[in-house]
A and B are shown apart, each in its own frame.
Chain A
């Protein structure tokens, strides 16, 4: 039982990270119908920015802020440079562009920083509090879940309570009509990508310190789990992405805790295939046209 409790908290903490990554994917998918396969690599790049800035300034938190800012800028740049005409491209082309960026960004990081695994400090202690002999959660876990929650609330308020959010939803819902009504659709797409880059950066800053380490391919596995989370929730719904990410985190925490940690990639594949075959639109989409 104590193991189950520990695995649950562990799953919630990792689930928060997958939820953030899933949200980053969904933010882009809803507006541009692009599944950004470079999301993980972009997030790794921002973690390297944090590493450099922290080394330079000596402050962890300035580095943390720099990573989020870098994610925001990188998201916007990637949209402007590589995905500007994505709505007119066949889906296959956008996938290949994403994969190309993935290879390119990871290689550039390798050229700048080397392929070795660099230690990356956590914001808070990763030693778990325990009650009796039951390990529960660490300060870092609380920070992870808390910061993801705060960011999601900010995005939810931005999307549903501000004029800018209304324009963004309009641009995603009916780009032509929105354009006729004076909404700068192109600019809002860029903003969506920038937000997504920021969310991805947060995910990297939270997951890389927890045993993963920083190397160019660090987020490859995490990206697949974030993708799984997004698919479990249904790619259309931000709320679904968050819940899907948390469910994925829990499922994989139990699988790796009870079967073995080397089973994680396989468990992710099984979860992905089962969800796609049984409920291709995800658990949280109503009656929608099937797009799988």
Chain B
């Protein structure tokens, strides 16, 4: 058991267990459920990156779907080039996905440079504007991005070694959840590293972090970049699972659903990001199924079908913030009586809220003066 004390070994064991669960789970599920799992993987990738940015580093983003779009479109453009030149192989899609993640990381670093100068509502407003503006670019450059219709994402069928009747949906679930596991593995290690501590130090107290020799803007830009890489990979596997990259699939609704996922799951916790993604994806599916079984008239069934899940997420967001700011993960920790894993903050039940509350308990310097 001493070996498990090592963070890296423990995370590697978890990664292997996750991969095993993935293979067993996708094998036992129908193609349709595998298709849903593929979507879930994309959510988990991006939500994990968002929770690092918002929960661990304290920077909010209401436009993460725009970063996903960059990853998704990069993958689409590359896969189309590969397919046109009839280049096939097991390495092709991973290469496109890596390129998508890298390009998004660079874009996110640029956003991060601006974001490092902005706080709270200002940053939220700018990222919201970004989330609306970026998809609009696709109709500006129709020749490249094909407008509202979007780009198709061709990719090789599952390798023959997996058997002749290995469903494409199962293959997509493997790609998507595999990417999610890799992202979770890297972010979990990052969280426990010096960089993770820098993120939290800047979140908890910028002045103290600066006095300890950290460059606050540099740490914030790094957090945005890391989050962007995860979002880019998420967007890439999302495009693969949908087999298309279109502005409609990376809209504001997706950005807000991602925020819902990380808040409901518990800000700053990777496990919370997974919980939240599962809730956002599957609560939507369950509620839509529930509406379809009610036997309503076509028109009202359609209205409920389209909107009931969002109403539930919106209500959950407000309730979680008012009643349970730690989200599901915070609730689980409280039930289990476990203090936060972070040794430095042991004994504080709501580390994020407490740290910020401490911040704002001193009266605001300009307090509404004119």
Contacts and interface: CB of A to CB of B under 8 A. Distances in A.
Interface of A: 29-31, 33, 35, 37, 82, 85, 88-93, 95-97, 99-108, 110-115, 169, 172-174, 216-217, 220-221, 224, 227-228, 231, 236-237, 260, 262-266, 268-269, 272-273, 276-277, 280, 288-289, 291-292
Interface of B: 54, 58, 60, 62, 114, 117-122, 124-126, 128-130, 132-133, 136-137, 139-140, 252, 256, 259-260, 263, 267, 299, 302-304, 306-311, 313-318, 321-322, 325, 352-353, 356-357, 359-360, 364-370
A224 B131 CA distance: 11
Contacts of B310: 103-104, 106-107, 110
Contacts of A217: 252
A238 to B, nearest CB: 9
Given A102-B256, A111-B307, A82 B318 contact: yes
Given A265-B132, A280-B122, 6 more contacts: A92-B120, A92-B356, A224-B128, A280-B118, A289-B365, A291-B119
Contact of A280 (B117, B132, B133, B304): B117
A100 B315 contact: yes
B114 A277 contact: yes
A30 B369 CA distance: 8
Contacts of B125: 35, 224, 227-228, 231, 272
B-side interface mostly: helix
A175 B128 CA distance: 31
A93 B318 CA distance: 9
Q: What are the 10 tightest A-B residue pairs by CB atom distance, in nearest-first order?
A: A104-B314, A100-B317, A90-B356, A103-B314, A35-B121, A110-B307, A107-B310, A107-B311, A91-B120, A265-B133
A288 B364 CA distance: 12
B364 A33 contact: yes
A39 B308 CA distance: 21
Contacts of A93: 321, 325, 353
Given A99-B259, A107-B307, A266-B137, A37 B129 contact: no
Contacts of B308: 107, 111
A261 B216 CA distance: 38
A166 to B, nearest CB: 13
B332 to A, nearest CB: 20
A110 B306 contact: yes
A36 B251 CA distance: 21
Identify the interface centre among B118, B121, B122, B302: most chain A CB within 10 Å of its CB. Answer: B121
